[in-house]
Amino acid sequence: MSSQIQWFPGHMARARRQVQEALKLVDVAIELLDARIPVSSGNPLINQILGQKPRLVVLNKSDLADPALTKLWLKALERPGVKVIALDTLKGEGLKEVPRAAAALVAEQMAKLAARGRRPRAIRCLVLGIPNVGKSSFINRLVGRKAAKTGDLPGVTKGQQWIRVQGSLELLDTPGILWPKFEDPQVGYKLAITGAIKEQVFDIYEVAVRLLGWLASHYPDRLKERYRLSELPQNIPDLLAAIGARRGLLVAGGTVDVHKAAQLLLKEFREGLLGRYTLDMPPFDR
């Protein structure tokens, strides 16, 4: 199923070229990842494009991820030239760390410029990541005003724009970039679950069944509580139908509308109503 989930619109190929050109103008690359899927939401092309450019990795949507696993991911992703912070864009938690982390990454570079008599200037940052990872909301929060377009659907930002953060940073927003082919079928599945891929290009029912199977295996009690089920059917399609029935998602004749049930499950997962989950496991023991 998920091996067939592929989405690489033409504007993303252009975006890749734009990012490569913009790198010459910036000091730091700020890469946003989804804290629920830090590996699956990391574009392998970005590693190639950025090379040795100082990088600030932001684990966005940390309010939706398992907090214990997020702490492990913060350690796992940190390395020379790369700083990592967790961020809840909606509440702004972790936002103050962004300018400090960016400054630390380029402290040596800025000191050299000052030694040559150059006047202090704002740190120039390139903001990038896959679609719907929250780049525009991140920028708006950082700037303190509605500076970039926002939306619930992937692919809202189509062009580049510079945005000034008072006193310390200048941000260059870019369109979200996916990559031409997901080598690991699980990556496509996880991106579909978290909303990075347009629903028109994958089978919503099949993705919901996969998610529900994972939840039933790892967190059965949460499903029982959320959907008021005394027991969970062993058959996952039957479980999805039971959830639809509990929510009154019926069509003529009293049959459950499983497509609507699938949409409901994905929506509630994405909004954190089922709990806080991380689908990518860090390379540490829990």
Class of the domain covering 203-270: mainly alpha
Q: Taking residues 133-156, what's their average pLDDT?
A: 69
Q: What is the DSSP string of the chain?
A: -GGG-----HHHHHHHHHHHHHGGG-SEEEEEEETT-TTTTS-HHHHHHHTT--EEEEEE-GGGS-HHHHHHHHHHH-BTTEEEEE-BTTTTBTTTHHHHHHHHHTHHHHHHHHHTTPPP-PEEEEEE-STTSSHHHHHHHHHTS--S---SSTT---S-EEEEETTTEEEEE------S--SSHHHHHHHHHHT-S-GGGS-HHHHHHHHHHHHHHH-HHHHHHHHT-SS--SSHHHHHHHHHHHTT-B-TTS-B-HHHHHHHHHHHHHTTTT----SSPPSS--
Give the pLDDT confidence score for residue 178 in this predicted structure.
56
Class of the domain covering 2-173: alpha beta
Better pLDDT: 248 or 164: 248
pLDDT in tens, 254-273: 899 999 999 999 999 999 99
Q: Is 151 annotated as a binding residue?
A: no
Q: Is 61 annotated as a binding residue?
A: yes
Q: Is 132 annotated as a binding residue?
A: yes
Q: Is 134 annotated as a binding residue?
A: yes
Q: Is 3 annotated as a binding residue?
A: no
Give the pLDDT confidence score for residue 210 in this predicted structure.
96
Give the pLDDT confidence score for residue 3 in this predicted structure.
44
Q: Taking residues 278-284, what's their average pLDDT?
A: 89
* Both structure tokens of 131: 């679609």
Task: Spell out the domain ranges in the chain.
Answer: 2-173, 203-270
**Polymer length of the chain:** 286
pTM reported for the whole predicted model? 0.85
pLDDT exceeds 90 at position 172: no
pLDDT in tens, 181-226: 566 778 889 999 999 888 888 899 999 999 999 999 999 999 999 9
